[in-house]
Chain A
Amino acid sequence: MKRAIPAVISAATALALVLAGCGGGDEPVDPNAPVTITLAGWSLSSTPEFKALADGFKATHPNVTVELKEYAPGNDYDTQMITDLAAGTAPDVYVMKNLKNFYTYQSGGQLLDVSDATSGLGSSPALASYQVDGKAYAVPYRQDSWVLFYNKDLFAKAKVAPPDGNWTWDDYTDAAKRLHTGLKGAGSNATGAYQHTFQSTVQGFALAQTPNADLLSGDFGYLKPYYERSLDLQAAGAQPTFGTAKTNKLTYQAQFGKQQSAMLLMGTWYVATLLNQRQSGDADTFQWGIAPAPQFDKSTTGTSATPVTFGDPTGLGINPKISKSKTAAAKAFLQYAAGPDAGKALAGIGITPAQVTDAVTATLFGLAGVPQDDLSKFAYAKHTVKPENPVSKHTAGLQNLLNETHSAILSDSKGVDAELSKAQARAKNEVLNQ
């Protein structure tokens, strides 16, 4: 026994030395040598975009293999990624699902400066979100924006005129109510609209559209008219209440896809979901269309103007712990993913790339099952997209408390004013002073 212990220790030491030897040192860079870079993704079997990017890049860079590493979907993605980055086991290239955690990654030194991969990407608000002190720390490859999906069949059934691109929120509210009455009269149980339980469905539009609205100011008065309209629609029965949606775990996919609601405000990612669900039978087949999101006032309505909406870009950044021999390949991958070729590849599977060009619009509207009317194309291609999560140290904290405010107002409201002033006091005392 006594002799065994030193033997075990020396064996362990030898093994440790061998392992350490494997990890050390960067090989010299040879542009044609085979390289494998790892890329983080989530729900790989049902999210084809990562494979589309990996395959598309391989076509132009045959020596580079992009290996996918699966992460948890939803909010757990960031938790898992932050843990892996802190532990030093994260992949070479990783995705930022939205802007909420960009500050954490960037200020924590977890993103490589990728300014030299941004040439040819032009200047877009999406790219600007990732720039700090003139340097870019990620590139956008996807940019969803929120639009209005509507069911043409249900509009016809209720004898209500479909959206024409000129809607303000008052027009939308009015249509939802008339749909409610019309559908009821026609013997349908469908509601005029469905507003999912996300805080974005109210707050995202209010922040993007209201002149001078600023999340970081801690002044949330701009939310008031948007909440009043939501409460009005709930009270009129024109949309399921927040409580019903929560307690019955309603999904927006089923509400719109199964024709339970005539209108749905949602991000453009829903195009791909709806197409897939129609194929699998999870959604009905009906005539549908896309219209611009209702606007704050008439100044941004109509197809000659540019509607204002919101949406965070989805970005790709490089883990600073990447080995030097792989950096060039990783940067080339970023440049590809944010560029026009990847844009077309993404549009081909129903995903909205960061740069919507005419070619991208043509590709997406060439897919079977996508509506062909001009308003749908306009709504998809033309708008000003403002970030839902302006990049700041305080964003995560403010969004968390506004999420609580959202559920408080929409459930058994103690009054919009009271909840908003409470939120303002909390923002000042608990977040902005930190």
Chain B
Amino acid sequence: MSRNTVAGWSFILPNFVGFAVLTLLPVVVLFYVAFTNWNVFGVAEWTGTANFRRMWDDASFWTALRNTVYYTVFHIPLTLAASLGLALLLNRKLRGVRFFRTVAFFPYITSIVAIAVVWNQLFSPEYGPINALLGAVGVDNPPGWTTSSTWSMPAVIIVGTWRYMGYYMLLFLAGLQTIPAQLYEAAETDGATPWQRFVHVTLPGLRHTTFFVTVLLTIESFKVFDLILVMTGGGPGQSTLVLSQYIYQKSFEENQFGYASAVSIVLFAICFSITVIQFMVNKRRNS
């Protein structure tokens, strides 16, 4: 080994050891545990594909999967639209634009528990301002929000979108800065309307950013956990139970680490395949 190699290794070693011990090793172990029956104490008993077969007949697993997809399908387009809209709005030369950008980013850095407490009160069916407002504009039967199994998921999606739009707005703002101003000037000279400029200049110019944001949003939506845990705890009933929470329940509450690991692998496989598909589609578009 040359002196340089040793020096190089010594620089990356502390970081790599941390990564290996705290990330890589648990992931590898997870793939093994998923094929066992293990309650944390003692030896894991090899059960082959039993955990995966069990999942097939487990109604709660399917409920959690359905709810996760429900959240994702609505959360992604809503957040994309909201964050892009905000970015376009705050990309202009307005008075106090920095202040508004900061305000939009605020929810992202606010504690999730505080968010849940405040939004739960806003959503309160009897005393909350949201239903008071709906009542004032003539809605006779305002929804029960987090206390109703029909409306709890929409409530969570609204809060999720509100929380994350500031972060993705920032990414879109960065993307907008990279579009050359000459393109807009040329389009304007050619008589393009604001909508035409948006569709033919802004959107193509943002393609890389949009792709990046969509991939991040997909992964983030599929593994949504903390927001739902503190807002509804998965309820009422199982109406907002999502996969990551189901994994938590099976592992840390019921000590079925084997089964929980198997569900984790399914969640991983879903995230992984959708991301791969997104990359493939993006590559084809680029070529």
| A positions within 8 Å CB-CB of B | 1-2, 5, 75, 79, 82-83, 85-86, 101, 104, 107-110, 241-244, 246-249, 396-397, 400-401, 404-405, 407-408, 410-412, 414, 419, 425-426, 429-430, 434
Partner of B146, one of A107, A246, A408, A414: A246
B147 within 8 Å of A by Cβ? yes
Given contacts A104-B39, A109-B42, contact A408 B253 (CB under 8 A): no
B238 within 8 Å of A by Cβ? yes
Neighbouring A residues of B149 by C-beta, 8 Å = 408, 411-412, 414
Closest chain A CB from B150 CB (angstroms):
7
Q: Are B236 and A412 in contact (CB under 8 A)?
A: yes
Closest chain B CB from A116 CB (angstroms):
24
Q: How far is the CA of A244 from the CA of B150 in the complex (A)?
A: 17
B282 within 8 Å of A by Cβ? no
Q: Are A249 and B117 in contact (CB under 8 A)?
A: yes
List residues of B (218-261) whose CB comes within 8 Å of A's CBs. Answer: 233-239, 241, 249, 252-256
* Nearest opposing residue in chain B for A108, CB measure: B41
Closest chain A CB from B110 CB (angstroms):
17
B277 within 8 Å of A by Cβ? no
Q: How far is the CA of A110 from the CA of B42 in the complex (A)?
A: 10
Closest chain B CB from A261 CB (angstroms):
16
Q: Are B60 and A430 in contact (CB under 8 A)?
A: yes
CB pairs A–B below 8 angstroms (10 shown): A1-B6, A82-B255, A246-B120, A246-B146, A396-B253, A405-B237, A411-B236, A412-B144, A429-B58, A434-B54
Q: Are A247 and B121 in contact (CB under 8 A)?
A: yes
Given contacts A408-B236, A429-B57, contact A249 B148 (CB under 8 A): no
Neighbouring B residues of A434 by C-beta, 8 Å = 54, 256
What total of chain B residues lie within 8 Å of the partner, measured CB to CB? 42
Spot the interface stretch: B22-30, B122-130, B169-177: B122-130
Closest chain B CB from A418 CB (angstroms):
11
Q: How far is the CA of A405 from the CA of B54 in the complex (A)?
A: 22
Given contacts A86-B40, A400-B249, A400-B254, contact A247 B128 (CB under 8 A): yes
Closest chain A CB from B127 CB (angstroms):
7
Q: How far is the CA of A234 from the CA of B67 in the complex (A)?
A: 29
Q: Are B146 and A247 in contact (CB under 8 A)?
A: yes
Partner of A412, one of B147, B252, B256: B147
Neighbouring A residues of B239 by C-beta, 8 Å = 408
Residue picked from B124, B146, B147, B150, most chain A C-beta under 10 Å: B147
* Nearest opposing residue in chain B for A422, CB measure: B237
B59 within 8 Å of A by Cβ? yes
Neighbouring A residues of B144 by C-beta, 8 Å = 243, 411-412
Closest 9 CB pairs of A and B: A108-B41, A408-B237, A243-B147, A411-B236, A407-B235, A247-B124, A407-B236, A412-B148, A247-B120
Given contacts A400-B253, A429-B59, contact A1 B125 (CB under 8 A): no
Residue picked from B6, B54, B146, B254, most chain A C-beta under 10 Å: B254
The SS class assigned to the B binding surface is loop
Q: How far is the CA of A429 from the CA of B59 in the complex (A)?
A: 8
Q: Are A79 and B147 in contact (CB under 8 A)?
A: no
B95 within 8 Å of A by Cβ? no
* Nearest opposing residue in chain A for B248, CB measure: A79
Q: Are A248 and B40 in contact (CB under 8 A)?
A: no
Neighbouring B residues of A411 by C-beta, 8 Å = 144, 147-149, 235-237
Q: Are B237 and A419 in contact (CB under 8 A)?
A: yes
Q: How far is the CA of A414 from the CA of B148 in the complex (A)?
A: 10
Given contacts A82-B40, A244-B127, contact A426 B121 (CB under 8 A): no
6 further contact pairs, Cβ within 8 A, besides A248-B127, A397-B254: A107-B41, A243-B125, A243-B147, A244-B126, A248-B124, A396-B255
Closest chain B CB from A189 CB (angstroms):
13
Partner of A244, one of B7, B58, B124, B252: B124
Q: How far is the CA of A104 from the CA of B38 in the complex (A)?
A: 11
Q: How far is the CA of A401 from the CA of B64 in the complex (A)?
A: 13
Closest chain B CB from A236 CB (angstroms):
15
Q: How far is the CA of A2 from the CA of B149 in the complex (A)?
A: 66
Q: Are A248 and B121 in contact (CB under 8 A)?
A: yes
Q: Are B42 and A426 in contact (CB under 8 A)?
A: no
Q: Are A246 and B57 in contact (CB under 8 A)?
A: no
Given contacts A412-B144, A412-B148, A430-B60, contact A404 B235 (CB under 8 A): yes
Closest chain B CB from A234 CB (angstroms):
11
Q: How far is the CA of A429 from the CA of B146 in the complex (A)?
A: 28
List residues of B (104-148) whose CB comes within 8 Å of A's CBs. Answer: 117, 120-121, 123-128, 144-148
Neighbouring B residues of A412 by C-beta, 8 Å = 144, 147-150, 236
Q: Are A426 and B60 in contact (CB under 8 A)?
A: yes
Closest chain B CB from A388 CB (angstroms):
16
Closest chain A CB from B203 CB (angstroms):
40
Neighbouring A residues of B147 by C-beta, 8 Å = 241-243, 246-247, 411-412
Neighbouring B residues of A407 by C-beta, 8 Å = 233, 235-237
Neighbouring A residues of B117 by C-beta, 8 Å = 249
Q: How far is the CA of A247 from the CA of B235 in the complex (A)?
A: 12
Closest chain B CB from A235 CB (angstroms):
13
Neighbouring A residues of B41 by C-beta, 8 Å = 82, 85-86, 104, 107-110
Neighbouring B residues of A83 by C-beta, 8 Å = 40
Q: How far is the CA of A411 from the CA of B59 in the complex (A)?
A: 22
Q: How far is the CA of A64 from the CA of B124 in the complex (A)?
A: 54
Q: Are A108 and B234 in contact (CB under 8 A)?
A: no
Closest chain B CB from A404 CB (angstroms):
5
Neighbouring B residues of A79 by C-beta, 8 Å = 252
Q: How far is the CA of A30 from the CA of B236 in the complex (A)?
A: 58
* Nearest opposing residue in chain A for B7, CB measure: A1
List residues of B (1-37) whose CB comes within 8 Å of A's CBs. Answer: 3, 6-7
Q: Are A247 and B39 in contact (CB under 8 A)?
A: no
Given contacts A247-B125, A247-B146, contact A1 B40 (CB under 8 A): no
Q: How far is the CA of A66 from the CA of B53 in the complex (A)?
A: 49
